[in-house]
Amino acid sequence: MLNFRHLYYFWIVVQEGGFSRAAERLGMAVQTVSMQVRDLEKALGHQLLKPSGRGVALTDAGQAAFARADEVFHLGQRITDEVREAASTGTVRLSVGLSDGISKLAAHALLEPVLATPQLRLVCHEGEFEELLSELALHQLDVVLAGQAAPPNPNRRLRSERIARSTIQWFGPTSLVKKSARDHFPRSLAHLPVLLPTSHSPLRAALDQWFHAIHVRPRVVGEFEDSALLAVFAARGLGVFPVSELGAKDVSLVRGLRQLGSSPDVAEEVHAIWSRRGQNHPLVRRLLAGGQGAETGP
């Protein structure tokens, strides 16, 4: 087992730039700190530090060790802060990762089963799928919501389950959503300016297949990772855009939009992904129970 005390001393030495300043910060003898770092190097089988002027510098192996040590001890500080906060206020914290591929307008509906929790402190992180899975594996997140299931990886030990499937609706500004555009939907998408999610989103692939199947080449004028941005730019007159029916419930929050049509053959899926620790979180269990099998549309 790695000795985390030795790792901590090494981390402090790197932060302080040398053994003397690290020993002063730790309130220990320089020889003691030096010996602990040497023991770490022996345990890892590689030299981590090398002399540099009056201080020390990282070797290549040391850079790798320091990067992980930084993650470990920052996470440790978060644990301390969160435990103190929970003990003093009774706050229930839920950290959710939202993959950049899913509709952010649907986030409120997806999280609705836990929003009435007393003393809830909800923390939402947005990021790329792989980045969020890494944070989940490091227990920096309790659950990730994404447009796809977790890929098999025995090292991460993640589980996933589809919690929603929602068909797609189209909205746009009043200036573009005329009666003729609605009557000739989806053919009108070949003439109207269209805003689409980027290729990061699984929904984009489904939409491209749908366009091909109905023989419509959309006039794409913008691509966005965030569905909320789609709605804002659409409301400003830039174009029409697709959104899942779950997300459509919050489209009304953006003024000046009206429905153009629907694509019942296209659906957005949302999967909840969690780690072994996450499965014991009461709000993760409630989220799964509230969303399991939820579907909208035909």
Type of residue at 183: D
Any idea what the Cα angle at residue 48 is, between residues 43 and 49, rounded to 5°? 135
pLDDT computed for residue 134 by the predictor: 85
User: Are 131 and 212 contained in the same domain?
Assistant: no
pLDDT computed for residue 298 by the predictor: 47
Task: Select from 34, 66, 85 the last residue of a domain.
Answer: 85
Enclosing H/E stretch for 170: strand 159-173
Q: Are 244 and 294 contacting, i.e. CB atoms less than 8 angstroms apart? A: no
> 3-state DSSP call for residue 154?
coil
- 126-168 pLDDT, tens digit each: 888 888 888 888 788 999 998 888 888 766 678 889 988 889 9
pLDDT computed for residue 12 by the predictor: 93
How many domains does the structure of the chain reveal?
Answer: 3
> 3-state DSSP call for residue 158?
coil
User: Are 8 and 74 contained in the same domain?
Assistant: yes
pLDDT computed for residue 144 by the predictor: 93
pLDDT computed for residue 18 by the predictor: 92
User: Are 169 and 254 contained in the same domain?
Assistant: yes
User: Are 151 and 245 contained in the same domain?
Assistant: no
CB count within 10 Å of CB 88 equals 8
User: Are 185 and 226 contained in the same domain?
Assistant: yes
User: Are 147 and 199 contained in the same domain?
Assistant: no
pLDDT computed for residue 296 by the predictor: 47
298 assigned to some structural domain: no
> Residue 161 corresponds to which tokens in the numbers above?
């389950």
Terminal-residue alpha carbon distance, the chain: 55
Measured CA to CA, the distance from residue 61 to residue 184 in angstroms comes to: 63
Q: Domain range spanning residue 106?
A: 91-164+270-293
pLDDT in single tens digits along all 298 residues of the chain: 788 899 999 999 999 999 999 999 888 899 999 999 999 999 999 999 998 888 899 999 999 999 999 888 888 877 777 777 666 666 788 999 988 777 777 788 888 889 888 888 899 988 888 888 888 887 889 999 988 888 887 666 788 899 888 899 999 999 999 999 999 999 999 999 999 998 878 889 999 999 999 999 999 999 998 778 888 899 999 999 998 888 887 777 778 899 999 999 999 889 999 987 777 888 998 888 876 444 444 4
User: Are 131 and 151 contained in the same domain?
Assistant: yes
User: Are 176 and 254 contained in the same domain?
Assistant: yes
> 3-state DSSP call for residue 171?
strand
User: Are 139 and 285 contained in the same domain?
Assistant: yes
User: Are 189 and 258 contained in the same domain?
Assistant: yes
> Residue 46 corresponds to which tokens in the numbers above?
């590689």
